[in-house]
């Protein structure tokens, strides 16, 4: 059954079938092999059970909030604020890219939304200021991956629902890893900008800083409202996502006045399409995960790994390598949905905290957004900069290396993940 699962899933993906359909078809094949028939009601019930979950409602609302911010001028003001505050130092636009990505990540939870919003503004700006386009694009792409690490995070919601872990704990556990990655990216950019001898930008006057800060205050309150409600216990992550949508609408339409009623249809349609695709992944993955459990694939994997080693640290290294490989060929959402029911029983058996492993898994799989053949963030960055994929990949290597170093650091220093959740408890 393990062979049937692997060959069916990856075989269907290789021949070009969409991932969600490949998941459903794999579930049907596994049912047929195990029973000799295809009771379609099992697949239908599995898909319905997968999406009939209250915490998952946060996903479409966070996606809608991200769409509203892109159209309503909130993301532009975040970029302008970051540039005004730090753009005057040598290579300042690179640091502004990371800071803007962190702020945007604390609102949207999506790497694709982040690279689209931040890259569309900063890549042309960096080109106009004579920055190296390849390195600038690589920085924008890697910084955009902070979106699913710094809370709120859509992959973390998916993991939490499937692993029976608190969504709030997952969000809090991602704060320190996200900040560490941001500092690591800025460190690489520091050495690059020093070598390239980028000139200083024009320092904004006190009046300009005050004006930009006043304009951006409404946007900066959004992450405070989202995380403040979750941490204080006033609102669940789903309720905070709804608040984010309402707040974004009010600010975009009545404060900044850049979102018009005529644009609402397109905003809601785009968010609906993105949410529908994600929920289809979730439904298909839940259907196939039922067959994974029934076929005892987690036990087979556990026995295989235990033949190699029983040391938790060695097992974490092996699982990191496995997830890096899976992330290269599969998008984050389906990868989280497939790997969670397979790997969580194993890590519980060897005494690894599911919260720690969840943050490590999400951080690991997000690196796949930067690597071909699936790297969606990489392709968007190449499209925005009009550069060749190989050129961007070469420039991205130092940034990927430091992200992997941070990944290994949080893997073996679990206190970096559990510190804030434990502190607030």
Instruction: Specify the pLDDT at position 327.
Output: 84
pLDDT over 90 (residue 387):
no
Q: What is the pLDDT of residue 39?
A: 63
Q: In this predicted model, what pLDDT tens digit does every residue of 68-82 receive, in sequence order?
A: 887 887 777 888 888
Between 110 and 142, the more confident residue is 142
Give the pLDDT of residue 80: 82
pLDDT in tens, 273-324: 888 877 887 887 777 777 777 777 777 778 888 888 889 999 999 999 989 9
Closest by CA position to 323, among listed 358, 361, 273: 361
**DSSP assigned state of 18:** -
Least confident piece of the model among 117-126, 148-157, 198-207, 373-382: 198-207
Which parts of 145-252 fold into alpha helices (H)?
A: 154-163, 167-173, 175-196, 206-232, 237-250
Q: State yes or no: pLDDT of 38 exceeds 70.
A: no
How far, in Å, CA of 228 to CA of 109, rounded? 16
Does residue 230 carry a pLDDT above 90?
no
Are 240 and 20 in contact by the 8 Å Cβ rule? The answer is no
Most confident range (mean pLDDT) of 15-19, 30-34, 320-324 is 320-324
- Rounded to whole angstroms, how far apart are CA atoms 15 and 11? 6
Predicted local distance difference test score (pLDDT) of residue 174: 93
What sign does the CA torsion over 296, 302, 303, 305 have? Answer: positive
The answer to whether the Cα torsion of 397, 402, 405, 407 is positive or negative is negative
Give residue 49's pLDDT: 76
Contact 235, 61 (CB under 8 A): no
Instruction: Check whether 405 has a pLDDT greater than 90.
Output: yes
Burial tier of 242 (Cβ tally within 10 Å: 0-12, 13-18, 19+): middle
Average model confidence (pLDDT) for the chain? 85
Q: Rounded to an integer, what distance in angstroms lies between the CA atom of residue 183 and that of residue 177?
A: 10
Q: What is the pLDDT of residue 403?
A: 95
Three-class secondary structure of residue 167 per DSSP: helix
Q: Give percent of the chain above pLDDT 70.
A: 98
CA dihedral of residues 94, 182, 359, 298 (deg, nearest 10): 50
Task: Please give the Cα distance from 157 to 137 (Å, whole number).
Answer: 28
- Residue 36 is predicted with a pLDDT of 66
Split at pLDDT 50, 70, 90, the class of 213 is confident
Interaxial angle between packed helices 332-349 and 19-35, expressed in degrees from 0 to 180 and rounded to the nearest 10: 50
pLDDT band at 141 (very low <50, low <70, confident <90, very high): very high
Of residues 411 and 295, more confidently modeled: 411
The answer to whether 332 and 148 are in contact (CB under 8 A) is yes
Average pLDDT over residues 222-229: 82
Say whether pLDDT at 88 is over 80: no
pLDDT at 37: 63
Sequential DSSP letters for 53-105: -GGGGHHHHHHHHHHHHHHHTHHHHHHHHHHHHHTTSTTHHHHHHHHHHHHHH
Please give the Cα distance from 183 to 409 (Å, whole number). 14
Poorest-pLDDT segment among 27-41, 76-90, 94-108, 350-364:
27-41
């Amino acid at each position: 059954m393990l062979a049937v699962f692997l060959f069916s899933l990856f075989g269907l993906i290789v021949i070009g079938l969409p991932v969600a359909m490949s998941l459903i078809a794999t579930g049907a094949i596994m049912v047929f092999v195990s029973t000799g028939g295809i009771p379609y009601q099992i697949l239908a019930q599995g898909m319905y059970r997968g999406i009939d979950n209250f915490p998952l409602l946060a996903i479409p609302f966070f996606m809608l909030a991200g769409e509203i911010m892109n159209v309503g001028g909130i993301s532009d003001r975040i970029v302008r604020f970051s540039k005004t505050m730090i753009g005057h130092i040598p290579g300042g636009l690179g640091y502004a890219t990371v800071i803007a990505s962190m702020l945007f990540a604390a609102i949207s939870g999506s790497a694709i939304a982040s690279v689209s919003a931040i890259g569309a503004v900063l890549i042309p700006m960096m080109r106009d200021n004579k920055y190296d386009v390849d390195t600038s694009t690589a920085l924008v792409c890697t910084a955009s991956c902070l979106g699913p690490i710094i809370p709120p995070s859509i992959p973390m919601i998916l993991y939490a629902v499937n692993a029976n872990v608190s969504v709030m704990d997952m969000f809090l556990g991602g704060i320190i890893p996200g900040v560490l990655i941001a500092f690591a990216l800025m460190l690489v950019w520091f050495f690059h900008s020093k070598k390239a001898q980028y000139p200083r930008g024009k320092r904004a006057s006190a009046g300009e800083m005050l004006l930009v800060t006043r304009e951006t205050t409404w946007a900066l309150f959004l992450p405070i409202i989202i995380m403040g409600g979750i941490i204080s216990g006033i609102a669940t992550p789903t309720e905070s996502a709804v608040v984010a949508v309402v707040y974004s609408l009010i600010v975009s339409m009545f404060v900044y006045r850049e979102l018009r009623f005529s644009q609402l249809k397109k905003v809601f349609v785009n968010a609906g399409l993105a949410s529908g695709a994600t929920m289809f992944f979730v439904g298909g993955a839940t259907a196939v995960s039922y067959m994974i459990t029934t076929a005892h694939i987690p036990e087979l994997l556990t026995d295989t790994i235990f033949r190699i080693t029983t040391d938790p640290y060695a097992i974490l290294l092996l699982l990191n390598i496995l997830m890096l490989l899976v992330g290269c060929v599969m998008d984050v959402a389906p990868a989280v949905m497939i790997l969670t029911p397979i790997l969580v029983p194993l890590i519980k058996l060897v005494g690894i905290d599911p919260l720690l492993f969840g943050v490590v898994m999400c951080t690991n799989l997000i690196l796949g957004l930067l690597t071909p053949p699936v790297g969606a963030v990489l392709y968007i960055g190449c499209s925005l900069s009009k550069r060749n994929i190989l050129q961007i990949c070469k420039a991205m290597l130092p940034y990927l290396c430091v992200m992997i170093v941070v990944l290994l650091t949080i893997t073996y220093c679990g206190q970096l993940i559990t510190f804030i959740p434990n502190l607030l408890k």
